[in-house]
Copies of this chain bind each other. A is one copy, B any other.
Amino acid sequence: MSRLLCRQFPSRLLCRARPAQSFRCYASTPPIAQFNWQDPLGSKNLLTAEEQAVSETAEQYCQARLLPRVLQAYRDEHYDPEILREMGDLGLLGATIDGYGCAGVSSVAGALITRAVERVDSGYRSSMSVQSSLVMGAIHDFGSAEQKERYLPDMAKGKLIGAFGLTEPNHGSDPGSMEAVAREHPQKQGYYLLGGSKTWITNSPIADVLVVWAKLQETGKIRGFLVDRKQCPAGTLETPAIKNKTGLRASITGMIHLADCPVPKANMFPEVEGLRGPFTCLNSARYGISLGTMGALEDCIARARTYALERKQFRGNPLAKYQLVQKKLADAATDAAYGVLAAIQVGRLKDEGKATPEMISMIKRQNCDRALHNARVLQEIFGGNAVSDEYGIGRHVANLYVCQTYEGQSDIHSLILGRAITGVQAFV
């Protein structure tokens, strides 16, 4: 299967550079005159041929290979690291990065991949986002040439797994108050000692390389460190899994405990200082979430629509015939269509250097909020049957709650937007 995809795909995705002239794909398409409930506002019209191809390959992979695994994985809270290697084979990891064996596609194409993955499960998407946007992105944007060469190619193939350590137990929405610290190694020259704890870290229990943000003791400034698990002496790095999660159970989440863990100075990101580093990475990840969650919502719509057409009550009418059901579907389809357009727009601006963090706050917040809200409303269509996990909608609902809270809880983004609109901050 994956070989088949590889044949048709990397020829395009991996081997070609970005096309000199991006073109609108609809040039040769015959006019569509029909409403398509899966793309109500014709967003496909905005995609280049390359982007469409990337999207199709990702969708095929996800439906063929991820979907069959997710039900059991979610039940068992099991994450199979093989998934990242499969994604790597297809060129889906770090896809927006140019070079280092990455595909170098547009931001929109990158987000179409997240949409395909999240159509199956937000946990799978989370794992991929961490690998691609947070870790590979951080290394690409802030790493030294040597750091890039050393990690990016293997991460692109999924041979090395990354984790991103920012959030601490006592500092969720306010990372600036972090307590993790890096201090000069008292004996070993050229080394720092890292101490502190991070929590809610996707992939941490299985990660080979962990980007850890900590305050450099001598300056008090936040810096980024590449903690390479195989270099850490026993007992200095622990990454216990957090179990019994109420959502995102198909991904693995854990803590990072660093106890005087020696890290070579060469593993510190050379330039970036303060919150700019982590926030730049989060920005990319949030962008991916904004289109990713639309995939989850679209899957909820498709599932609810099918159920509503098949389930009959009262004189043999399908549920789809009831006005109250139709309104739920109409509302959800509208929010999905709007959310997709907004995400494509910001992706375009991003590639033109015109996107601002507030734009990403806006679409991350809105798309997560609407995905969650509509998923819940669509769940009502299933009535009591939604209690069976086989309908899948309950899983999306539980996952989307998490998406709404991580990488900037919804209210925090409201206040970021409020500040951007008024010029007045209201965090305190």
Q: Using CB atoms and an 8 Å cutoff, list the residues of chain A in contact with chain B.
A: 26, 31-35, 37, 40-43, 45-46, 75, 167, 170-174, 177, 200, 242, 244-248, 253, 301, 305, 308-309, 312-315, 317-318, 320-327, 329-331, 333-334, 337-339, 341-342, 345-346, 348-349, 352-359, 362-363, 365-366, 376, 379-380, 383-390, 394-395, 397-398, 401-402, 404-406, 409-411, 413-415, 417-428
Contact = CB atoms under 8 A, between A and B. Distances in A.
A390 B200 CA distance: 14
A345 B41 contact: yes
21 contacts: A26-B354, A35-B420, A41-B345, A42-B345, A45-B348, A45-B352, A177-B314, A242-B387, A247-B387, A301-B421, A318-B424, A320-B422, A320-B426, A321-B426, A323-B415, A326-B426, A327-B415, A327-B418, A330-B414, A337-B342, A380-B404
B315 A428 contact: yes
B314 A173 contact: yes
A397 B394 CA distance: 11
A334 to B, nearest CB: 5
Given A33-B353, A380-B409, 8 more contacts: A31-B354, A41-B346, A42-B346, A247-B394, A321-B424, A324-B414, A334-B362, A384-B406
Contacts of A352: 26, 31, 45
B173 A389 contact: no
Report how many copies the assembly holds: 4
A384 B359 contact: no
Most chain-B CB neighbours within 10 Å: which of A312, A326, A385?
A326
A416 to B, nearest CB: 8
A224 B419 CA distance: 40
A253 B411 CA distance: 37
A144 to B, nearest CB: 26
Nearest to A329: B421
Given A348-B45, A383-B172, A384-B167, A321 B414 contact: no
B245 A426 contact: no
B341 A388 contact: no
Nearest to A74: B244
A315 B362 CA distance: 25
A349 B414 contact: no
B401 A398 contact: no
A40 B359 contact: yes
Contact of A384 (B172, B305, B323): B172
